[in-house]
Amino acid sequence: MEDKATAKMDTMPVGRLLGSMALPMMLSMLGQALYNVVDTLYVSRIPDAGEMAITALTLAFPIQMVIMALGVGTGVGVNALVERLLGMGKRREASNAAGNALFVSLLYFLGLFFFGLFGARAFILSQTQNGQIAEMGIVYTRIISVYSLGTLGYMCLEKITVATGRTKITMMTQIAGALTNIILDPILIYGWIGFPAMGVRGAAIATVVGQFVSLIMLGVLYLRKDPILAIHLTDFKPRREILAPLCHVGLPAIAMQILVPIMSYSMNRILAMISEAAVTAYGIYYKLQNFIFMPAYGLNNASIPIISYSYGAGHRDRIHTCIRWALIDVTLIMAAGVVLLEGFPSPIVSLFAVTADTAGICVMALRLISWGFFFAGVNIIL
């Protein structure tokens, strides 16, 4: 018997289907972007160390992007594969794919766990010679790496849930995690309501707690809502026939995403030779840009299951229609981003407690880069 999720993929007009799936995912991606923006906003107000704290988070940011790249790449791979298998009516094989993707995410976590313990110090010290900034950066990098299971597990399970058409659940759980982070940040950073003031360490703890809240909530809701894919422990056993197509889609996605932290790490090293203010400004600018891009990534993630299901079901016309609608929508999103950052860069940057020199560099960067958003949006979709 065909369930509502697969029936919707077959019969709902593509424009309306994309809108219904994209809005929750766009809000979910905005929630993910909030982690970095909110952490930066709060640490900028740490007494006598705010700007150095922003710089420390900027140096740690490439590792956060690596975690995102691994999570997104695995999620894209499993999302496309599960949808294609569901479109072909192979539900049991789709469950195998979901289990194998979760297994791969666990392997990535183990790698990041050991990097956090033994590699974080060398990574941060390769970008700065300022001892105070370095220590804050090491603490933040170590915590987000050692406890990266929350992010990796959530992103994989999120894409599995999206593949079954239940995007509202992922939106609710992502927002719950972001709100947890927003509430905990000032409590742990500044030492409110009896907690010790932990500074950058508190920001990192608030981030990972928020991510685990999202993961646990999504796991509970997924199991309680009669899931289309019944994932068993046996599905975690690696299968070559599953891992091959999973990697075929996932590894290119990881490779593309991994260029971002490589670029960010390289820019940190180059700008450090100019001034710490340049590194700080780059960190603020890039997180604000990322906030604009996240809805586009959400639109992309909503397009993938529609295209993959239609491919598996042989509906070529629906594939073309979905791509056309996605390109129109992303152009509107990027236009809004250009208007925001070209029209109000100074008020936006003033939210961060930084020096006039740093703010000036950041405003200049936002105004220069925003005209490239139209090309970036089309690139994200295609």
The runs of H, that is alpha helices, within the chain are 4-11, 14-43, 50-87, 91-118, 120-125, 131-146, 149-163, 167-190, 200-224, 240-272, 276-313, 316-343, 345-349, 356-369, 373-381
**Are residues 68 and 257 in contact, defined by beta-carbon separation less than 8 angstroms?**
yes
Higher pLDDT, 228 or 148: 148
How far from chain centre, in Å, is Cα 276? 26
**Are residues 175 and 15 in contact, defined by beta-carbon separation less than 8 angstroms?**
no
**Are residues 14 and 322 in contact, defined by beta-carbon separation less than 8 angstroms?**
yes
**Cα–Cα–Cα angle for 96, 223, 168, nearest 5°?**
100
Locate 149 and state its tokens.
């299971």
pLDDT of residue 127: 94
Predicted TM-score (pTM) of the model is: 0.85
The rounded percent of the chain whose pLDDT value lies above 70 is: 97
Q: What is the mean pLDDT of the chain?
A: 88
Which among 289, 301, 312 is positioned nearest to 370, based on CA atoms?
A: 289
Rounded to whole angstroms, the Cα distance separating 143 from 67 reads 12
Nearby residues of 108 by Cβ (< 8 Å), 6 or more positions away: 70, 71, 74, 148, 152
Nearby residues of 182 by Cβ (< 8 Å), 6 or more positions away: 34, 38
**Are residues 80 and 378 in contact, defined by beta-carbon separation less than 8 angstroms?**
no
Residues of 17-47 as b/e, b for ≥16 C-beta within 10 angstroms?
A: bbeebbbbbbbbbbbbbbbbbbbbbbbbebe
Q: Which amino acid is at 236?
A: F
Span of 155-169, 253-267, 268-282 with lowest mean pLDDT: 155-169
What are the tens digits of pLDDT across the range 284-326?
988 888 888 888 988 887 888 788 888 888 888 999 999 999 9
Compute how many other C-beta atoms are within 10 angstroms of the C-beta atom of residue 72.
24
Tokens 């790490």 found at: 265
pLDDT of residue 6: 61
pLDDT of residue 227: 64
**Cα–Cα–Cα angle for 111, 113, 118, nearest 5°?**
95
Which among 307, 302, 28 is positioned nearest to 165, based on CA atoms?
A: 302
**Are residues 337 and 63 in contact, defined by beta-carbon separation less than 8 angstroms?**
no
Burial class (CB in 10 A: 0-12, 13-18, 19+), 110: exposed
Rounded to whole angstroms, the Cα distance separating 295 from 172 reads 16
Average pLDDT over residues 198-206: 96
How far from chain centre, in Å, is Cα 363? 24
Please give the backbone phi and psi of residue 53, each rounded to the nearest 5 degrees, phi first.
-65, -40
Burial class (CB in 10 A: 0-12, 13-18, 19+), 11: exposed
Give the model's confidence band at 191: pLDDT under 50 very low, under 70 low, under 90 confident, else very high.
very high
The counts of H helices and E strands in the chain are: 15, 0
pLDDT of residue 112: 97
pLDDT at 357 over 60: yes
pLDDT at 165 over 70: no
Average pLDDT over residues 245-269: 85
Average pLDDT over residues 48-68: 92
Average pLDDT over residues 112-129: 96
pLDDT of residue 305: 79
Average pLDDT over residues 22-47: 83
Rg (alpha carbons) of the chain, rounded to whole number:
21
Higher pLDDT, 145 or 82: 145
pLDDT at 339 over 90: yes
Q: Ramachandran region of residue 47, left (φ > 0), alpha (ψ -120 to 50) or beta?
A: beta
Span of 1-15, 63-77, 132-146, 238-252 with lowest mean pLDDT: 1-15
Residues of 324-340 as b/e, b for ≥16 C-beta within 10 angstroms?
A: ebbeebbbebbeebbeb
Nearby residues of 369 by Cβ (< 8 Å), 6 or more positions away: 285, 289
Higher pLDDT, 321 or 174: 321
Rounded to whole angstroms, the Cα distance separating 238 from 198 reads 41
Give the model's confidence band at 160: pLDDT under 50 very low, under 70 low, under 90 confident, else very high.
confident
pLDDT of residue 334: 94
pLDDT at 1 over 50: no
**Are residues 155 and 74 in contact, defined by beta-carbon separation less than 8 angstroms?**
yes
Distances (CA, A) of 134 to 3, 52, 60, 77: 54, 9, 10, 36
Locate 241 and state its tokens.
């026939």
**Are residues 159 and 302 in contact, defined by beta-carbon separation less than 8 angstroms?**
no
